[in-house]
């Protein structure tokens, strides 16, 4: 009886896994830059990623208020790029304003998170 259950389980598993593979529809995974310009928070996430990349690889000495300025510049640049690509309506001035608000949200959002966490102290040492 035990061998019969093993065979039945193997047949059921093979049919189940083969059926799952054929039942799924192939969905194309696309990359949509237009989703960056849906709202300010979405563009702010992109600004955070770009500024983090620039600080790690290009602008290694930038700290403090310089990071905020880089964030504002990246946001304004991305806003203008979105205007040229047709994702931001209202012209260059609106695009720069949109990008600056995203850059301000990106740098201010990080400051709010670190401010809410407070200054971290060193872990107490276990040595006597």
Per-residue confidence (pLDDT) for residue 24, from 0 to 100: 58
Question: Rounded to whole angstroms, how far apart are CA atoms 109 and 97?
Answer: 17
E strands within the chain? none
Buried b (16+ CB within 10 A) or exposed e, 88-116: beeeeeebbebbbbbbbbbbebbeeeeee
Q: Flag whether 81 is in a domain.
A: yes
Q: Flag whether 64 is in a domain.
A: yes
What DSSP state is assigned to residue 39?
Answer: S
Q: Flag whether 96 is in a domain.
A: yes
Per-residue confidence (pLDDT) for residue 68, from 0 to 100: 86
Q: Flag whether 77 is in a domain.
A: yes
Q: Flag whether 57 is in a domain.
A: yes
Q: For the segment 13-69, what is each residue's pLDDT rounded down to a tens digit?
A: 766 566 655 555 666 667 788 889 999 999 999 999 999 999 989 888 888 888 888
Structural domain count, the chain? 1
Nearest Cα to Cα of residue 73 among 94, 88, 51, 89: 51
> In the chain, pLDDT over 70 holds for what percent of residues?
69
Q: Flag whether 1 is in a domain.
A: no
Tokens of 98: 């949109």
Q: Flag whether 82 is in a domain.
A: yes
Q: Flag whether 112 is in a domain.
A: yes
Tokens of 52: 């983090």
Domain of residue 70, residue span: 39-116
């Amino acid at each position: 009886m035990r061998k019969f259950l093993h065979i039945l389980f193997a047949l059921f598993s093979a049919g189940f896994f083969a059926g799952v593979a054929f039942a799924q529809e192939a969905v194309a995974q696309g990359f949509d830059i237009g989703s960056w310009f849906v709202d300010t928070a979405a563009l702010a996430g992109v600004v955070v990623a770009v500024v983090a990349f620039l600080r790690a690889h290009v602008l290694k000495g930038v700290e403090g208020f310089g990071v905020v300025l880089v964030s504002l510049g990246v946001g304004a640049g991305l806003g203008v790029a979105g205007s040229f690509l047709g994702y931001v309506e209202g012209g260059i001035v609106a695009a720069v304003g949109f990008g600056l608000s995203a850059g301000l949200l990106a740098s201010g959002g990080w400051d709010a998170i670190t401010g809410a966490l407070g200054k971290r102290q060193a872990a107490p040492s276990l040595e006597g």
